[in-house]
Amino acid sequence: MHKEIDYQWRITKYNPAYRNAEGHYLRDEWTSASEIGKSFLGEILTLDDYLQVEKAYVDTVMKFLEVYQIENVRLIHLETYGLSNVDKTSPLYDPSFDTIPLAEDMLVNIAQISIVCKMALRDYIYCQLITEDFFVQFGDDYYLFIGANSIQQEAIQFASEQRLFVEQMISPYYLSEKNVIREVAWSFPGETIIEDSEILKDMSLEELQTIFQLSSIHPVTGSYKITEDNAEFFQKKIKHKMDFTKYEYYLLAGS
C-alpha cells in the first residue's frame, strides 16, 4: 500500500450520540461474538441478533469493494488465534472457513472476502485487507475502518441503510510509509525481551519486500524474523556484528 489514503471512515454499530466529549462510548453494548447469550440494555444478545449485525458489516465491506471496483485484495498482518482448533460444533463455525488456506500476503478474491470478514469479526483471525490505495481494517470491540482515495456516497449511504454509523476519521491502525520506523532488534533465543536494537536506515521498502518475498503493495510493517540467509542485507546497514550463535534477529517496523 504505497499511496497515502486520503479518506478514512470508522464504520460501526455504535451511535455517536452516546459518546462523551473525549469520544468514549457510554452505553453498555456488546463488543464481540463471544458475548452472545449475555444481557445488554435489558435484552439478551441472541445468535440471530448477532448475525444480523455481522451481515450489515460484511455487506458494507462488499458494497465498498463493488463501488470502488475492487475484485482482489491482499491479506496482511495475519494472526490466526488457533483457528485450526476451533470448536466445529459452535454455531459460529462455518465450513467455508476451512476452504481458504490463509497465508500472509495472499491474494484474496471477491468470493473469499466475505468469508475472511466473518472470521475476523468472530475473532477467529486478525488481518487487514489492502490494495494499493484502499484498505479494510478490523479493530477491537467490533470496530471497522475503511480507507480510500475518493469519496463514493453510494457506499457510505449503503452503510447507513444497514443501520451502521459512518464517521470520517483516521484509522488508529493506519500507518503511512513516511512515518514508519524500522529497526533490527535482537534477543536471546526463546526470549521475548529485546536485548538491543539499531534503527535501520537507507533501505528501501522495495528492497525489504524482495528480501521477505512479499508483494509490491505489502507495507512490511510488524515483525519479521531475520535469518542467516538474508542477514547480509541487514548487516551492511547496522554497526552491530550479527551473531546467530548467540541471538535471534528481527526486523521490527512501526511508528
Q: What is the pLDDT of residue 202?
A: 85
pLDDT digits (tens, 9 = 90+) for 111-143: 999 999 999 999 999 999 999 999 999 999 999
**pLDDT number for residue 1:** 56
pLDDT at 237: 93
pTM of the entire predicted model? 0.93
pLDDT at 81 over 90: no
The Cα–Cα gap between 194 and 222 comes to 15
- Distance between start and end Cα atoms, the chain: 16
Segment holding 108, helix H or strand E: strand 107-109
pLDDT of residue 2: 61
Among 146, 117, 216, 207, CA closest to 6: 146
The string of pLDDT tens digits covering residues 14-69 is 999 999 999 999 999 999 999 999 999 999 999 999 999 999 999 999 999 999 99
Contact 199, 173 (CB under 8 A): no
| pLDDT mean across residues, the chain | 95
What's the pLDDT at 240?
97
Share of the chain above pLDDT 90, in %: 93
d(C-alpha 42, C-alpha 54), whole Å: 21
